[in-house]
Homo-oligomer: A and B are copies of this chain.
Amino acid sequence: MGLLKFVRLYSDKAARFVPTSGVYPKGYSVGGIHCGIKKNGNLDLALLKNEYGKGAVASAVFTTNKFKAAPVQLSSKIVKEKEGKNINSIIINSGNANAVTGTKGLNDAQSMVSATDKCLGNEENSTLVMSTGVIGNLLPIEKILTGIEEITKDENLGNSHEDWLKCANAICTTDTFPKLVTKNFEIDGITYTLAGLAKGAGMISPNMATLLGFFVTDAPVSNTALKSILQYAVDRSFNCITVDGDMSTNDTIVAIANGAAGGELIDQTSSSSTSYSILRAEITDFAQQLSQLVVRDGEGATKFIHLKVKDALSFKDAKSIASSIANSALFKTAMYGSDANWGRILCAVGYADVATADSVLPEKTSVSFIPSDGSEPLPLLVNGEPETVDEERASQILSVEDLCIEIDLGTGGNQEASFWTCDLSHDYVTINGDYRS
């Protein structure tokens, strides 16, 4: 079964989740072109350029997989060496992950960075690089270097909605729609803007799922504050989503701030600072929106599931329990089948990796469906005792695309976490198993 069929199956998602307009932060330009990596002629090279001041601050989180792709190794080195300062661009290719490619792969990643810096007139190593696509193949580096000369030309860059959509499209691989989110927020009477894009989680060729994304703002933030905010936000967004539980060699999320919108520098890293708190909350919310689009585009997904674990002893416990449920094949297939199978939820809660013996107390655990229409929650288990479930109402709640399930641990610890996942469908197996047939 080919890609086209899936594109047709899920094309209504593009209509629902790709915005038709957006707000864009000052001082950036972006673009996307076809440089010849993808055989079908689709866009495969993307660029973000900072145009404000001497250089923007950047922070990044990378995959913890031991088999790190060349661009991950290099970008992580650049961010570290420059302490997250004076980063002026991001160059991204799709169609080839430059992973498991040895010394040549590292050299190619460095060539992409150097060529971009040279064409944009940056100081050395001011560019971060990302790649996504097939693994184990060397990059067609000549095509990419020619592409970099092309994409850095003024006529290929801009800050309009269309430019951003082009950029978002150019980082897609088997995604069925480009993932782009923008928003405004205010601190001390000044309006700031966030714009970001992501790709994932699709894979059809013999490669791995990859999650790439970046977002940029025109707010004035120090490198240390941005680092602290990004870690907090990613812990509650990109690290709280799963499609199939597989962590790629290329996962990278970058945040960039150039201060182009003016205002006082946010350089605190404590929530006692109001401006830090506001920015952290805005970026976290933004990162959640962006990361949720990856789940929406999960391979074969027919359901979008929000898991909310409440009253845990710690955020870490709550997240671990939510992750355990979100990664359970039994839970995911039950959701696909619209089966109110609280037993499978409970089972996954029971084997989650939690900190102490008191983290999960069977006799205090409750599970409810929260209907998306705002009607009363449907309790399935209350304080460890099964409820007599109105199966008709349960089926009705589960028949819609957006589901929310609440697990109340009743520990008195009052900590909570949200996690987003999709179901496990026949199409997931088809996409990942039948590709070569």
Contact = CB atoms under 8 A, between A and B. Distances in A.
Interface residues of A, number: 61
B425 A428 contact: no
A151 interface: no
A429 interface: yes
B339 A433 contact: yes
A245 interface: yes
A interface SS class:
loop
Interface in A396-415: none
A105 to B, nearest CB: 11
A351 B65 contact: yes
A81 B142 CA distance: 73
A313 to B, nearest CB: 13
Interface in A306-350: 327-330, 333-334, 336-344, 346-350
Interface string A422-437: 0111101110111111
A205 B382 CA distance: 21
A206 interface: yes
Interface string A361-383: 01000000000000000000100
Contacts of A327: 245
Contact of A245 (B328, B334, B428): B328
Contacts of A437: 337
Given A330-B432, A337-B434, A424-B433, 8 more contacts: A65-B351, A66-B351, A67-B350, A100-B343, A136-B343, A244-B329, A329-B432, A425-B433
